[in-house]
């Protein structure tokens, strides 16, 4: 039984187990890539190459150059689109390790091994930060502590480049046990669904107009 998960997959499961089942297990529905998603992909690539190789930003992303310059000037090792995995016993592993349990990708890591401080930056291209969820930052900080034991403190942020917002968070290595326990409990609900093969729908205001799982009785797009 594959109980591999990520921040986005656990959020999908908590939004609606039935939708998770169709998209992640049965894979009989596929969400189309929207223009907003393509824009986000293009920005992530441009930011990665600008910070890593000084590749000039496309003109349509020039508005964020000063922000990325500030990140480039911070002291420490910089790792872009860095993949990390964690096994179920909470030991670090490669992103594609056969025994990987949780995995995530940090858009930008800045690691100062001398001071023991790290930074995690996650780029967001949405038009609003109103519903920002910092849980993603928490998980990335936990991964950093596992993969880079010299790092004892992590400052992190969701960088909304379009609406010019920055959602901050910070964590210390001595919080690991408590924080992992919280995520293990959230994951256990997914694990039970897999073991019992029970995927109850979770109706919400998004069902009728937005959900692509048209076979669900709560869907209004049939």
**Where do the structural domains in the chain lie, given as residue ranges?**
7-210
Residue position matching structure tokens 């004892």: 152
pTM: 0.93
Question: What pLDDT is recorded for position 208?
Answer: 80
Q: Is the dihedral of CA 149, 3, 159, 51 positive or negative?
A: positive
Nearest to 152 by CA among 174, 180, 128: 174
Q: Given pLDDT bands bounded at 50, 70 and 90, which one contains residue 206?
A: confident
The pLDDT tens digits for 84-136 are 999 999 999 999 999 999 999 999 999 999 999 999 999 999 999 999 999 99
Q: Given pLDDT bands bounded at 50, 70 and 90, which one contains residue 209?
A: confident
| Average pLDDT rounded to a whole number, residues 46-69 | 97
221 against 76, higher pLDDT: 76
Rounded to the nearest 5°, which phi and psi values hold at 93? -155, 175
In sequence order, the 6+-apart residues with CB closer than 8 A to the CB of 78 are 51, 52, 71, 72, 108, 109, 110, 111
Share of the chain above pLDDT 90, in %: 90
R_g over Cα of the chain: 19
DSSP 8-state symbol, 63: G
Classify domain 7-210 at the CATH topology level: Lambda Exonuclease; Chain A (3.90.320)
220 against 127, higher pLDDT: 127
Question: What pLDDT is recorded for position 143?
Answer: 98
Model confidence at 177: pLDDT above 90: yes
Q: Given pLDDT bands bounded at 50, 70 and 90, which one contains residue 222?
A: low
Report d(CA 74, CA 61) in Å as an integer: 21
Report d(CA 90, CA 101) in Å as an integer: 9
């Amino acid at each position: 039984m594959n109980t591999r998960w990520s921040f986005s997959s656990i959020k999908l499961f908590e939004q609606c187990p039935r939708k998770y089942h169709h998209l992640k297990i049965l894979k009989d529905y596929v969400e189309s890539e929207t223009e907003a998603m393509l824009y986000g992909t293009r920005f992530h690539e441009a930011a990665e190459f600008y910070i890593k190789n000084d590749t000039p930003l496309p003109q349509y992303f020039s508005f964020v150059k000063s922000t990325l310059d500030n990140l480039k000037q911070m002291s420490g090792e910089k790792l872009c689109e860095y993949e990390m995995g964690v096994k179920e016993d909470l030991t670090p592993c490669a992103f594609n390790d056969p025994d990987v349990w949780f995995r995530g990708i940090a858009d930008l890591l800045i690691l100062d091994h001398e001071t023991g401080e790290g930074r995690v930056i996650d780029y967001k291209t949405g038009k609003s930060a109103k519903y920002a969820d910092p849980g993603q930052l928490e998980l990335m900080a936990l991964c950093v502590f596992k993969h880079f034991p010299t790092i004892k403190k992590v400052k992190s942020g969701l960088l909304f480049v379009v609406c010019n917002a920055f959602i901050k968070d910070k964590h210390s290595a001595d919080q690991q046990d408590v924080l992992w326990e919280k995520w293990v409990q959230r994951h256990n609900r997914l694990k039970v669904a897999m073991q019992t093969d029970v995927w109850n729908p979770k109706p919400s205001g998004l069902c009728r107009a937005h959900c692509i799982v048209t076979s669900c009785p709560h869907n209004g797009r049939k």
